[in-house]
Amino acid sequence: MTLLKMAWRNLWRNPKRTLITLFSMTFGLTMMIVGYALSDGMLNQMVHYATLLGTGHVQVHHPDYLEDHSIYDSMDDPAALLAAVTSTGLGSASPRVFATALVSSGQQSAGGQLWGIDPDLESSVTELDQHLETGTWLTPGAKGQVVLGRNLAKTLSAGPGDEVVVLTQAADGSLGNALYTVSGTLKSIGERLDRGGVIMHIRDLSELLVMDSEIHEVAIRLNDPNELDWATLTLSKALDEEKYKVENWKQLFPELAEYLRLSSSSMTIVLFIIFAVASLGIVNTQLMSLFERTREVGIMRALGMGPLSVVWLILLETVFLILMAAVTGGIAGILWALRLEHVGWDISWMGGSFAFVGVAFDPHMYATLTSVAVIHSIVVMIVVVLMASLYPFIRAARISPVDAIGRGR
Amino acid sequence: MKGRRAEGGGRSSPLTRRRGDTHRRTVVCSGQAETRWEWKIITQRVSIFIAFFLVCFFSSSISSAATAKEILEKVDDLWRGESSFAEMTMDVVTENYERSMKLKAWSLGKEHSLFVITYPPKDRGVATLKAEENIWNYLPRVNRVIRVPTSMMMANWMGSHFTNDDLVKESRMSEDYDAEVTFEGEKDGTNVYEITLVPKPEAPVVWGRIEITVVQETLMPVKSLYYDEDGGLSRTMIFDKVKMLGERLVPTVMILIPEDKPEEKTVITYDSLELGLGLTPDFFSRATLTRKDLVR
Amino acid sequence: MVMKLAFRNLRRNLRRSLLTVTAIALGTALALFSIGLGDGGHRQMIENGVRIGQGHLTVQREGFLESPSSSLYIRDPGPFLDAVTLSPYVDNAYPRIRGEGILATAAGAEGVMFQGIDPAMPGEATIFRDSLTEGEFLTDFNAAQVVLGKKLADRLKLALGKKVVLTTQDAGGEITSTLVRVKGIFRSGSGTIDGSICLMPMGYLQKALGMGEGVTSIAIYLHNPFKQEEALADIGRQLPPGPEHLYEWQTLQPDLRDYVVIDDAFGYMIYAIVLLIVAIGVLNTILMSVMERRREIGILTAVGMENRDVMKMILVETVFITFMGITLGVIIGLGVNWYFSTYGLDLSSLSSQNDWSLAGTVIDPVLRSHLRPHRAVGLCLAVFLLTVTMGIYPAWKASRILPVEAMEKP
């Protein structure tokens, strides 16, 4: 008890030194948490672009649909299916119908991919509606509207207000054809949508294809994208495996998943470097502060304190420091990371790659703060500080009083 | 024909003579001229819609022809100028849908043809024009004429088992295949010739060979079998119900069966046929395609 | 006098000096390593993507991007190739014919992206050469051959030597069909590539599509992808006038672009964070060392040293220590970078799952650091300036220490 009190009092006997050490630890911890959150955020942002501009996190199809995208490999009773998906509480779901088609406007024509969506449900899954270059998104309830992909719109020289003819093979074998009005065009999102995307009301497309209410896909946005594997499993258990195939974006787009895995690995290294640099600052300050106290330790020994008590005393001081730093650094790191999570970090000033016209990219970096990040950072800080203190502790215990006082001068 | 530049010279000759099978050929007819004749007959028979009429036409006139040479000349003449009009029914059965349509069809030689759907009401007026190597579709609902692009060439035509490409390719058969008689004799109680068409080495066709069976006596087609490159049967076309139509004896039913889906088929039945209408190539224009009186 | 004192001080308290030097050195080295690794990863991300795509820069006709039709071709690629290869930034330039078409066999038809290449050009289409699993690569500029992906071959039930019909639009806009035979089959591991791309000899396609000597695009690969802007300007100046346009890969590959943009931004942030941490660490160290020397400095002022000189002395110490630290740091940093640029860092070995299907062909899992001199110099300058600036405050504080105050405390 006296040792505790003594340690605490000792700390504040030289407040400047303590504050500097504390600041060093706090700052290091803050940067670790922020760095951690930013690298998580970057991966999430990549996943975000991979998923929320078209695919969603998880998709449900007829087991054969992805094999040759035949319009006949569809799923009946979408209402029940959507209800089954949303009742798991994992996220929101949007039904889709697809078909390939010939799209033409004036003398120009091009191959296109028709996306029949429900504008209300779709906006709860993807963010396509927020990435328009011109015009407006589909109006819920309206008929005969389409939104075109960027390059397709250019090929057809079509913009908002123009009419396009869509020609496709309907489910009954007839030549489905209809006239639609362009309500908007998308920004550059990805090759597939850019070159051929024709987004329209699901009812319009079903009518064109002479289909009842069958759908080809349910796209799901998870509330927690980090629980991807678990959510995929839960969903496939919730649905009849004979009739539905549930796959997440990593299974659907293995290239992308691999790409991100690569990024994630290099991120680990970058994070390691940030931690190392931050630790370095802490170690240095801690070492210096302990070394500079040789004289002080000598005096304590001269006053009759045993070597073990001295070590205990210094250890307790360090523990106090760590605790304080964990609180201050933790709070600072969490606050900063949360700010970066919500407001983001505007990177448009960097120019370069961000200057491209029509890019769907939002020029903000967003952090993603997880409890794992905070815990890892604090644990690393504690381990680093204790390791850094090890050598000075041993020295302090071995020091001979006379020597220490003498050398201090 | 622009696309054919790639194959270069030598392709302009419609016929490549094969050695060692002369005796077979002479059974049908004799000499080089006859060979040409035989060849054309065959390719016309495997052609899907339009050439079909011609086959029927000279099949019926063969009895009155004195020599093979004369027939050949006659055929060549007809070949250049023959125009026809037919009304037909197309029934399509697939695993996903069944569909029945009534069509009107005009044709001039093998190069030009025009189809208009008259039934069901939903598709009434949808028309297809084939002129040379291009196909246009007219869609009355949106009042547009659209040229079928490359990407849709392999798509099926009006939901049937024929592709748009089949329509184009049939007018090119003479350039793409070499023919020889590979069997003659009795099969199923009828004396038939079996003629095998083998694609020329550089011909852009997917088939490995096509076998056509014709009745010796009438030269009426019985069936064509389409094989892939490994010798596996890919699709079968059956000609049936030989009847007098348009003052000629013709098989009025054609059935196409894809081998990988034996339960599926496309059946074309001729309801009426008129020949020698004197249509000119300018009838087969995009302007005609949009004419409202076509369906009447 | 001040200089002498400063150096003597440093030598007298060797342990403290060394500690500070080490801190700066390790900080600099780690920062250099992180920059090298970041740039290396960034470059690799682009390289991986661009290798499958159409080069860092691509010359093609306007409008070809929106709808790749064979009628939009470069009639005479010669002057373009000459202009491009003259540029000092260009490593390789490949004329190519690209287009969309349909491959058909008796078993079915599939939409494809076809690519006409010159098989004799070294370095061309290496991805496909490397991932060839059956048969051989294209052999002849004019032969009717095709090399296609395993998935595509399976769907069309194709095997080596079998024929397949390509239907597409020729240069005149007419639909044309042409027959090719399967020469080889590749399996890159990427479903999209294996299911949609086929390669044919350029000369054959030129004839089949009626392009004469023309091509649709010229793919330009740069020595240094970081010099893309300079290369764009340089090549842009030299291109003959016409409807042809020079495109950047960012325009042609929007999917890749988004990831690279994020990666780029992240790289900058890491740079900023690392720099900040190093600077703060150094500030702490110097502050601490000045504080611990109050007594010492007090004595110096007591014996008549002027405030200005005390400040100068501390600054000289800081500059010297920083300089030593950075020098040492650069040596370590360059060494580490050299190691990782030569031997690389196999990221797939870091991952717990070992199913890198694309590794080695489409995506190279070995991360190689790439340190650009200007960034290294920039970093060193930044560390130096930051540290010295940080040193001003402690130095100023030290100069204000009163002799009496310093002596009072033990």
Residue B129 with chain A: CB contacts under 8 Å:
none
State pLDDT tens for residues A291-334. Answer: 777 777 778 778 888 888 888 888 888 888 899 999 999 999 99
Angstroms from C48 CA to nearest CA on chain B: 30
Bigger pLDDT: A362 or B165?
B165
Q: Taking 60 as the threshold, does the pLDDT of residue B152 lie above it?
A: yes
For residues A82-98, average pLDDT: 93
- Proportion of chain B above pLDDT 90, given as a percent: 13
Q: Taking 60 as the threshold, does the pLDDT of residue B41 lie above it?
A: no
Bigger pLDDT: B42 or B209?
B209
Angstroms from A207 CA to nearest CA on chain C: 26
For residues C98-121, average pLDDT: 89
Bigger pLDDT: B205 or C346?
B205
Distance of CA B204 to the CA centre of its chain: 17
DSSP secondary structure string for all residues of A47-72: HHHHIIIII-SEEEE-TTHHHH--TT
Q: Taking 70 as the threshold, does the pLDDT of residue B159 lie above it?
A: yes
DSSP secondary structure string for all residues of A297-325: HHHHHHTT--HHHHHHHHHHHHHHHHHHH
What is the residue type of A142? A
User: Is A108 an 8 Å CB contact of chain B?
Assistant: no
How far apart are alpha carbons B204 and C208 in whole angstroms?
A: 11
B contact test, residue of A105, A113, A174, A211 with most B CBs within 10 A? A174
- Against chain A, the chains showing at least 3 CB pairs within 8 Å are B, C
What pLDDT was estimated at residue B170? 65
State pLDDT tens for residues B50-96. Answer: 344 344 434 433 333 333 334 333 433 443 447 788 899 999 999 88
- Proportion of chain B above pLDDT 70, given as a percent: 70
How far apart are alpha carbons B136 and B130 in whole angstroms?
A: 7
What pLDDT was estimated at residue B47? 37
* Cβ–Cβ gap B144/A104 under 8 Å: yes
Q: At what angle do helices A15-50 and A371-398 cross, to 10 degrees?
A: 150
The residue ranges of every structural domain in chain A are 2-50+258-408, 64-84+91-219
Helix (H) or strand (E) holding B1: none
User: Is C164 an 8 Å CB contact of chain B?
Assistant: yes
What is the residue type of A47? V
* Cβ–Cβ gap C104/B165 under 8 Å: yes
Dig out the tokens for C141 from the structure. 């500029």
User: Is C166 an 8 Å CB contact of chain B?
Assistant: yes
Least confident residue range of B200-204, B216-220, C246-250: B216-220
- Proportion of chain A above pLDDT 70, given as a percent: 93
Q: Cβ distance B1 to B133 under 8 Å?
A: yes
Highest mean pLDDT among A282-286, A309-313, C147-151, C371-375: C147-151
B contact test, residue of A71, A164, A175, A181 with most B CBs within 10 A? A175
A contact test, residue of B141, B145, B160, B289 with most A CBs within 10 A? B141
Q: Which residue of B has its CA nearest to C111?
A: B151
How far apart are alpha carbons A376 and C17 in whole angstroms?
A: 32
Q: Taking 90 as the threshold, does the pLDDT of residue A122 lie above it?
A: yes
User: Is A107 an 8 Å CB contact of chain B?
Assistant: no
Residue B205 with chain C: CB contacts under 8 Å:
165, 179
Q: Taking 90 as the threshold, does the pLDDT of residue C242 lie above it?
A: no
Mean pLDDT of chain C: 84
- Where does A106-213 show beta strands of DSSP type E? 108-117, 132-135, 145-148, 163-169, 175-186, 197-201
For residues A90-115, average pLDDT: 90
- Between B95, B142, B148, which is nearest A178 by CB? B142
What pLDDT was estimated at residue B14? 33
* Cβ–Cβ gap A24/C358 under 8 Å: no
What pLDDT was estimated at residue C334? 93
Q: At what angle do helices C14-52 and C307-342 cross, to 10 degrees?
A: 40
User: Is A4 an 8 Å CB contact of chain C?
Assistant: no
- Proportion of chain A above pLDDT 90, given as a percent: 36
Position C261 confidence tier, pLDDT thresholds 50, 70, 90: confident
What pLDDT was estimated at residue A406? 58
Position A402 confidence tier, pLDDT thresholds 50, 70, 90: low
How far the first Cα of chain A sits from its last, in Å, is 32
Which position has the token pair 């020098």? C327
- Against chain B, the chains showing at least 3 CB pairs within 8 Å are A, C
Angstroms from B229 CA to nearest CA on chain C: 7
Q: Taking 90 as the threshold, does the pLDDT of residue A115 lie above it?
A: yes
User: Is C143 an 8 Å CB contact of chain B?
Assistant: no
Dig out the tokens for A3 from the structure. 């040792």
Angstroms from B170 CA to nearest CA on chain A: 22
For residues A215-241, average pLDDT: 91
Highest mean pLDDT among A112-116, A403-407, B104-108, B152-156: A112-116
User: Is B151 an 8 Å CB contact of chain A?
Assistant: yes
* Cβ–Cβ gap C258/A284 under 8 Å: no
Least confident residue range of A80-89, C155-164, C276-285: C276-285
What pLDDT was estimated at residue A351? 52
A contact test, residue of B95, B98, B152, B267 with most A CBs within 10 A? B152
Residue C127 with chain A: CB contacts under 8 Å:
none
Q: CB-based contacts of C214: which residues, under 8 Å, 6+ apart?
A: C73, C74, C75, C76, C77, C171, C206
In chain A, what is the greatest distance between 2 CA atoms, to the nearest angstrom? 103
What pLDDT was estimated at residue C408? 56
The residue ranges of every structural domain in chain C are 2-49+258-408, 54-252
Q: Which residue of B has its CA nearest to A106?
A: B144
Under DSSP, the state recorded for A378 is H
User: Is A88 an 8 Å CB contact of chain B?
Assistant: no
Q: CB-based contacts of C301: which residues, under 8 Å, 6+ apart?
A: C307, C310, C401, C402, C403, C406
Which position has the token pair 């070809």? C64
Q: Which residue of A has its CA nearest to B158?
A: A174
ipTM of the complex: 0.77
How far apart are alpha carbons A115 and A211 in whole angstroms?
A: 14
State pLDDT tens for residues B227-276. Answer: 998 899 999 989 888 888 777 777 888 899 998 888 999 999 989 888 77
Half-sphere exposure of C246 (CA within 13 A, CB side): 23
Using CA atoms of A207, A208, A210, A216 in order, give the dihedral in degrees to the nearest 10. Answer: -90
What pLDDT was estimated at residue C366? 80
Q: Cβ distance A111 to B151 under 8 Å?
A: yes
User: Is B96 an 8 Å CB contact of chain A?
Assistant: yes
State pLDDT tens for residues C209-239. Answer: 999 999 999 999 998 888 888 898 998 888 8
What pLDDT was estimated at residue B245? 77
For residues C337-347, average pLDDT: 86
* Cβ–Cβ gap A353/C362 under 8 Å: no
User: Is C207 an 8 Å CB contact of chain B?
Assistant: yes
Angstroms from A180 CA to nearest CA on chain B: 10
Q: For C105, list phi and psi in degrees, rounded to 5.
A: -130, 180
Residue A110 with chain C: CB contacts under 8 Å:
67
C contact test, residue of A23, A270, A293, A295 with most C CBs within 10 A? A270
Angstroms from C181 CA to nearest CA on chain B: 10
* Cβ–Cβ gap C179/B204 under 8 Å: yes
Dig out the tokens for A175 from the structure. 């030549």
Residue B149 with chain C: CB contacts under 8 Å:
169, 175
Position C322 confidence tier, pLDDT thresholds 50, 70, 90: confident
How far apart are alpha carbons A134 and A52 in whole angstroms?
A: 20
Q: Which residue of C has its CA nearest to B233?
A: C106
What pLDDT was estimated at residue C189? 76
Bigger pLDDT: C85 or B58?
C85
Position C166 confidence tier, pLDDT thresholds 50, 70, 90: very high
How far apart are alpha carbons A362 and B190 in whole angstroms?
A: 77
